[in-house]
Amino acid sequence: MSNIIEKYIGQNVAIAVDADRYFYRGILSKVDETFLVLDCASVVLETGLYYNKKRTIPAKEEFVGDMIVSINKISMIYQPSWSQGQLPVE
């Protein structure tokens, strides 16, 4: 799985984590066999539309900082339009 995810390094992505009701978005900075690192991550509380040319950020999100996520806990990684906008910072 890690070699599939590596193609997103340096890009904004959204991930879904098992046993969590939220998506997270940020810049994928590192992937190895057991974990990935999401820089400038935010928890997405309300996504809005999956594809919307005018909206490139989620409807509601909160900054959480850099995250390390176990590869085994990721159920999805993708790039909806709301994952591509400027990331919130502290």
Give the mean model confidence (pLDDT) for residues 61-65: 95
* Radius of gyration (C-alpha) of the chain in whole angstroms: 12
Between vectors from CA 60 to CA 4 and to CA 9, what angle results, nearest 5°? 20
* pLDDT tens digit sequence for 5-19: 999 999 999 999 886
Check if CATH label 3.40.50.261 holds for domain 2-83: no
- Please give the model's pTM, rounded to 2 decimal places: 0.84
Predicted confidence (pLDDT) at residue 55 exceeds the cutoff of 90: no
For residues 52 and 4, the model is more confident at: 4
Show me where the domains of the chain are located: 2-83
pLDDT digits (tens, 9 = 90+) for 69-78: 999 999 999 9
pLDDT at residue 90, rounded to an integer: 59
